[in-house]
Structure 1
Amino acid sequence: MELITFGETMVLFNPDSTGPLRYIHNFSKSIAGAESNVAIALARLGHNVGWFSKLGNDEFGRYIQSVIRGEGVDVSRVVTDYEKSTGLLFKERFAHANPNVYYYRRYSAASDISLDDIDIDYIKSSKILHVTGITLALSEKTRETAFKVIEIAKENKCLISFDPNIRLKLWNIKEAKSVILEMAKMADIVFPGADEGRQLLDTEDPIEIGKAFLNMGSSIVAVKLGKEGCYITGKGQEEFIEGYVIDKPEDTVGAGDGFAAGFLSGILKDYSLIECGKLANAVGAMATLVKGDMEGFPTITQVREFMGIEKYVDR
């Protein structure tokens, strides 16, 4: 397995029109989860990846597993909880602004993941283990599990990829800062955003953010800068890489996950850090072209056409 990731995926209800939810009557159903987003994006780029979680013994859980399996991701280690339910997420949309999100995930099946739910040999089989700060925020149990799994992965020479993914609807910044920075010390590759630099390190300067995480022990830091692109540092290299401007993004949720997937795809293909950053920018930008958290992730051919590496033929 090239990459394995784990964390909560919820059923997403996306409104078919804009405005406050009290006036909305029709929704489209999809899935939402940072870790499954990365897995799906990497599978579309041609990689052998696995994702696991704990899902409720309900139709929502079966739906999530079916969708992710259908995207070519291995879900053979998903665990079913016969007591707790699958989490839900509703979006509230206003024109081209970032959507509001409403979680119904407290005491969900995924918030109860323990080490007993995890196939350790499966973790050991992977080149990269990708984790996010969302799993750290779900519960003390998931937090303890994540740290232990990372310890095991590191002992078996897996690269650790970490996206802070701060969600202040799940915990307060004081607690988040302490736990996330502790996790960052264990990671080989870190994907902070400039806003997360401000929250965690009191700076939005990409260079300072990069230095801080390298000093904690990371080998590579890719600072996400939205439409401005990214700043990459590590292994004696550092570079600002220009991004792609999308005039009217359909949905920005999932762009950061697409960025991480693009970068990790480059790592798995032994690209230079600069090439990894360029691919990451392109996948992240393309994610915003489509409504939904993961629907916009491209295939390798589509992203190469978007980047101008291959010629697009429409008919």
Structure 2
Amino acid sequence: MDVVTFGETMVLFTPDSTGLMRYANYFSRKFGGAESNFAIGLTRLGHQAGWISRVGDDEFGKAMVAFIGGEGVDVSQVKVDESAPTGIYFKELRRANDVRVYYYRKYSAASRMVPEDLDERYIAQAKYLHITGITPALSESCYETVMHGIEIAKKHGVKIVFDPNLRKKLWPEEKARKTLLEIASKADIVLPGIDEAEFMFGQVDLEQLGKRFLEHGASIVVLKVGAKGAYYFTGTESRLVPGFPVEQLVDPVGAGDGFASGFVSGLLDGLSLYDAVQRGNAVGAFATMVSGDVEGLPDRKELEAFLRFENKDVNR
């Protein structure tokens, strides 16, 4: 297994019309969750990824596991909770560049994850363990599960990739800040957005933010700065990797997960940090061009053709 991740995926309902959701009569059903988005992004690029979670003993849970497994992600570690439902959320497309998300996840099956849901042998055979800041916000038992996963990864030399994925609505800001910093201190690679980095450290200077994450414990930091691209920082260098222009932004939700999958794919393929970040930028751009969290994620042929064209254009 190349990568293992764990966290909540929910059923996603999107109105078939734009504008206020109160006027919508028809909805499309999809699935979305930061960790499964990431895992699907990796399998599309030819890597092995496993996703651990809990789903309800309901039709939504059955459909979700079938969908994610159908994308090539290993779902053998997913548990069915007979006393809690699968979470749902709605994505309201009010107008161009105005997408709003509403979650209905309290007391969901995934919020009841416990450390015993993690199989030590399963995580130990992976190259990377991917964690987001969403999971510890769901419940105290989810927080304990995250810390147990980190402990397992550390014990077996599995590198930890941490995407803060800040969700302020899920928990008090002070608790969020403390927990995200705690996890970042234990991670090998941290992938914050600029707003998340500023929230965590209370600073706005890019170089200083990169330095703070490194001092805090990470060996690689990739700071995402939107359309501009992403900066990477190590103990010896820092550099901006420009992003790719997107002519028509359809749906920005899931772009960060796409970036993470592209970046980790690059590491798995042995690319330089610059090229790995560039691959992350490219997959993130793909994700924004199609409605849905994973529907726009490219396969390897699409991605390589895109990068050849873009790099050729740059070098003219």
Task: Give, in angstroms, the shift of residue 247 of structure 1.
Answer: 2.5
Residue 73 of structure 1 corresponds to 73
Residue 205 of structure 2 corresponds to 205
Residue 55 of structure 1 corresponds to 55
CA distance in 1, matches of 2:309, 2:2: 25
Alignment RMSD, CA only?
Answer: 1.2
CA distance in 1, matches of 2:298, 2:115: 33
Q: 1:136-285 residue pairs with structure 2 within 5 A? A: 136-285=136-285
2:177 is matched by which residue type in structure 1? K
Task: Give, in angstroms, the shift of residue 298 of structure 1.
Answer: 0.3
Count of aligned pairs between the two proteins: 311
Which TM-score applies when normalising by structure 1? 0.96
Deviation readout 1:230-259 (Å, 9 max, x if unpaired): 001115221101101112211000100011
CA distance in 2, matches of 1:60, 1:204: 42
2:281 is matched by which residue type in structure 1? N
- Are the counterparts in 2 of residues 96 and 248 from structure 1 also a CA contact under 8 Å? no
Residue 32 of structure 1 corresponds to 32
- Are the counterparts in 2 of residues 190 and 220 from structure 1 also a CA contact under 8 Å? yes
CA distance in 1, matches of 2:89, 2:156: 35
Task: Give, in angstroms, the shift of residue 208 of structure 1.
Answer: 1.7
Residue 88 of structure 1 corresponds to 88
1:11 is matched by which residue type in structure 2? V
CA distance in 1, matches of 2:138, 2:233: 30
Whether 2:12 is the aligned partner of 1:16: answer no
Residue 134 of structure 2 aligns to a residue whose secondary structure is helix
Residue 308 of structure 1 aligns to a residue whose secondary structure is helix
Deviation readout 1:13-53 (Å, 9 max, x if unpaired): 01111122211111110001000000000000110111110
Residue 99 of structure 1 aligns to a residue whose secondary structure is strand
1:230 is matched by which residue type in structure 2? A
Task: Give, in angstroms, the shift of residue 226 of structure 1.
Answer: 1.2
Task: Give, in angstroms, the shift of residue 139 of structure 1.
Answer: 0.4
Which residues of structure 2 form unaligned runs of 5+? none
CA distance in 2, matches of 1:268, 1:309: 23
Task: Give, in angstroms, the shift of residue 168 of structure 1.
Answer: 1.1
1:57 is matched by which residue type in structure 2? D
- Are the counterparts in 2 of residues 98 and 252 from structure 1 also a CA contact under 8 Å? no
CA distance in 1, matches of 2:113, 2:252: 28
CA distance in 1, matches of 2:38, 2:203: 27
CA distance in 1, matches of 2:297, 2:235: 28
Task: Give, in angstroms, the shift of residue 174 of structure 1.
Answer: 1.1
CA distance in 1, matches of 2:38, 2:48: 12
Residue 116 of structure 2 corresponds to 116
Residue 102 of structure 1 corresponds to 102
CA distance in 2, matches of 1:204, 1:31: 34
- Are the counterparts in 1 of residues 131 and 163 from structure 2 also a CA contact under 8 Å? yes
CA distance in 2, matches of 1:208, 1:88: 38
- Are the counterparts in 1 of residues 97 and 250 from structure 2 also a CA contact under 8 Å? no
CA distance in 2, matches of 1:172, 1:300: 40
Residue 64 of structure 2 corresponds to 64
CA distance in 2, matches of 1:29, 1:153: 35
Residue 307 of structure 1 aligns to a residue whose secondary structure is helix
Which residues of structure 1 form unaligned runs of 5+? none
CA distance in 2, matches of 1:110, 1:150: 18
